């Protein structure tokens, strides 16, 4: 049901957009207008060798031309690319670049949902999808999109807490892209991609987070050390039980310890004692 409602709203939005543009494009020039057009055509024919250079226009592969005749848009589709013909004196053209444009969103100081002030910036990629709408429906589509991107960044991040801002950048960028694309659809703008570049935290908050992380690491280190001590004590207990079952094992361990000490270059003085003497004292 929600999907049907969204499709219906998009269809209505598209219909309203088409109606707005069609109203701009259609309409009679009037008697005076047609008289001026005919006069311009007659003037072009009389001075044909000269006026041909004013009638032919060329646009590049990545451009489109919107033609105004006496202030009205002449066609439902923009001209180009290549060469096309206009009437002198009555027709004027506006060239629109269809290439993808990128711009940086200036750093914005934003208060998050959990009352933390952060400084966030980003980058937006967009292009003109409808040249006629971008000329007829908005004064400056590029500048308007830049301003809207700043306010959209503030609105989206204002509903997130600090943890979500730091961890869910991809979701925030997708939400911004959807909002911008929906808002600029009537301007003939297609927002292709939005990225969050950097999130700057206050110095005091950085220090507090660093202290919290350091305390957490120290706590984990103490737990790991305690677990190591416990495992070592269990191993020593098992080793003592094995040695107690075989008296010769204690002798071998004693000789191994002497060998380890002798291998190192140190000034330790060792007085070896026979195991029989030690065992005699142990029995007592």
Taking the C-alpha atoms of residue 264 and residue 190, their distance in angstroms, rounded to an integer, is 75
Do residue 85 and residue 116 come from a single domain?
A: no
Do residue 181 and residue 129 come from a single domain?
A: yes
Do residue 91 and residue 106 come from a single domain?
A: no
Taking the C-alpha atoms of residue 130 and residue 142, their distance in angstroms, rounded to an integer, is 13
Whether 54 is covered by a domain: the verdict is yes
Do residue 195 and residue 114 come from a single domain?
A: yes
**Collapsing DSSP states into helix, strand and coil, what is residue 106?**
strand
Q: For tokens 């020039």, what's the residue?
A: 29
Cα angle: 182, vertex 184, 185; to 5 degrees? 65
What is the model's pLDDT at position 2?
39
What is the model's pLDDT at position 243?
73
Do residue 82 and residue 106 come from a single domain?
A: no
Report the number of distinct structural domains present in the chain.
3
What is the model's pLDDT at position 37?
74
Task: Dig out the tokens for 268 from the structure.
Answer: 């330790």
* Burial profile 171-210: b = 16 or more Cβ within 10 angstroms, e = fewer: ebbebbbebbbebbbbbbbbbeebbbeebebeeeeeeeee
Do residue 188 and residue 119 come from a single domain?
A: yes
The domain in which residue 261 lies consists of: 243-283
Do residue 134 and residue 176 come from a single domain?
A: yes
Whether 9 is covered by a domain: the verdict is no
Task: Dig out the tokens for 235 from the structure.
Answer: 């191993």
Identify the CA nearest to 69 among candidates 30, 18, 15.
30
Beta strand residue intervals within the chain, DSSP E = 56-59, 63-69, 72-73, 82-85, 91-97, 101-111, 117-128, 189-200
Summarize pLDDT for 153-189 with one digit per residue, the tens.
Answer: 998 988 888 888 888 888 889 999 999 999 999 999 9
What is the model's pLDDT at position 162?
86
Summarize pLDDT for 97-128 with one digit per residue, the tens.
Answer: 999 999 999 998 888 888 888 889 899 999 99
Residues of the chain short of pLDDT 50, as ranges, are 1-4, 6-7, 12-13, 15-16, 19-27
């Amino acid at each position: 049901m929600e999907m049907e409602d969204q499709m219906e709203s998009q269809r209505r939005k598209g219909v309203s957009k088409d109606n707005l543009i069609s109203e701009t494009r259609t309409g009679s020039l009037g008697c005076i207008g047609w008289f001026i057009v005919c006069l311009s055509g007659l003037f072009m024919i009389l001075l044909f060798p000269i006026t041909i250079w004013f009638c032919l226009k060329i646009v590049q592969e990545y451009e489109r031309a919107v033609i105004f005749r006496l202030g009205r848009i002449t066609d439902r589709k923009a001209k180009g690319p290549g060469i096309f013909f206009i009437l002198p004196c009555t027709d004027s053209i506006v060239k629109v670049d269809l290439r993808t444009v990128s711009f940086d969103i200036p750093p914005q100081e934003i208060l998050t949902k959990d009352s933390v002030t952060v400084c966030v910036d980003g980058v937006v990629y967009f292009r003109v999808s409808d040249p006629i709408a971008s000329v007829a429906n908005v004064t400056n589509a590029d500048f308007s999109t830049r301003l809207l991107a700043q306010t959209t960044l503030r609105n989206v991040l204002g509903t997130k807490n600090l943890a979500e801002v730091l961890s869910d950048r991809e979701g925030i960028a997708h939400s911004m892209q959807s909002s911008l694309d929906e808002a600029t659809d009537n301007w003939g703008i297609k927002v292709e991609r939005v990225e969050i570049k950097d999130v700057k935290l206050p110095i005091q908050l950085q220090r507090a987070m660093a202290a919290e992380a350091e305390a957490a690491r120290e706590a984990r280190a103490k737990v790991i050390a305690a677990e190591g001590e416990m495992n070592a004590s269990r191993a020593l207990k098992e080793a003592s039980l094995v040695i107690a079952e075989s008296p010769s094992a204690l002798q071998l361990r004693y000789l191994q310890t002497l060998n380890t000490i002798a291998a190192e270059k140190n000034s330790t003085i060792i007085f070896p004692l026979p195991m029989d003497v030690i065992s005699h004292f142990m029995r007592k």
